[in-house]
Structure 1
Amino acid sequence: MTQTAEPHHFAHVTDWVFDLDNTLYPHATNLFSQIDVKMTAYVSELLRLPREEARAVQKQLYKEYGTTLAGLMARHNIDPDDFLSKVHDIDYTWLSPDPALGEAITALPGRKFIFTNGDRTHAERAAGRLGILDHFDDIFDIVAAGLTPKPAPETYDRFIALHHIAGPTAVMFEDLARNLIVPKSLGMRTVLVVPRNFEPTFSEIWESDPAYDDAVDFVTDDLAGFLRTIAPPRLSR
């Protein structure tokens, strides 16, 4: 794992790919906790389980299938549209506009994409609240992925084919190291976005990825600062 990022490490990059949740906005906002609660409630109602049992089922589905949605579809044939609309019915005012991040993204040369296991509406609302939505060329969501979530290789294949992306000229930013395994194998630069000062979050225990460290080239707890650091000198003035 490279310790210090410098502009020359990214001088070849023409396509910048960003996960959404806990990547484009920081863990500290805890926005995803709202979605997490909604997913537990959905499982509880669907399976008629007490909340704690439903949460255990939800996390098992997540670990086994990559997302709770994929697990519920596989085991219970649920309507994905119904699930996505219900779990993303959250309060986006938890997010604050981030002009510094917007400026840093704008300064990057080439195309920029959001690649998320959530749906487009959620991505648009979150990025819109951050004030960065207009800086992206497209959003590749779980629907575009055929409802197959990262880290499935076929999902990356769909994304790459749709946007004609060459791995060696791309970089991917993620908060989960396991979602960087395929990008790394395709020749992409990989950046893991972690909580500020590595502070614990509600999800760290069950989302810890120590086995996938080899998939990570760089680590940052300040995305905007990282992007400013690696921007070409002529664009960082």
Structure 2
Amino acid sequence: MLAKRIIPCLDVHAGKVTRGQQFGRAEAGGLTEVGDPVALALRYNEQMADELVFFDITASSEGRRNILDVIERTADQCFMPLTVGGGIRAVDDMRAMLNAGADKISVNSAAVANPDLIRAGSERFGAQCIVLSIDAKRTPAGLWKVFTHGGRKETEWEAEAWAVRGVELGAGEIVLNSINADGMKTGFDIEITRRVSEAVPVPVVASGGAGKIEHFAEVLGAGKADAVLAASVFHYGEMTVPQVREYLKQQGFPTR
């Protein structure tokens, strides 16, 4: 069994880390400011997190300089791999993030609009650098549909099919974000995580819903995820990366 990864996530808006529930929007007052992204990154570096993910939820031309500065300062001081997403619309955007110190690039809405972005990035930088982030929501009809634009726009894709297509195009990893579970702390969405994990031959990172330490083992076991991503429980000190790692070892999951 491959070692399981524990990955804190920083949602960066206007240069600050924020948190919300079910993809709450800044303009609607749905986000709470948590703190400075570099300071939080240093905390997770000290806790020996396996990786760190930055999502630039400003994702605008004026916000781009903010996230590049954050990545540069973090890469100078931290030694864990960094993944960056948000507003990546072209290979040049990927190159800028990688040059700033990112190790992997996460694509989401732009990849749905232009799937060839995945292929272009994979061919230029390698599949190991390209992460397809999927925002999935269970609809009243019981379908797990892919949403874009911060969870505001439903697409024609179902989550499993889009994951398969993304890997065919060259994505080397999937981050599966459950909009239903995001920030609710009621547990990861096991069903869709398992379905996507079984559908693709690349690692799947489960995201959305961590509230108790048991939730991490549940999604790695029943959900067959390869890694777990969480935000609030780490940011607010409800648990630490070492605590989760030790718990997972006790449950029989190898960690790094």
Q: TM-score, normalised by structure 2?
A: 0.34
**Which is richer in strand?**
2
**Which is richer in helix?**
1
Asked which structure has the greater RCO (Cα within 8 Å, sep 6+), the reply is 1
Q: TM-score, normalised by structure 1?
A: 0.36
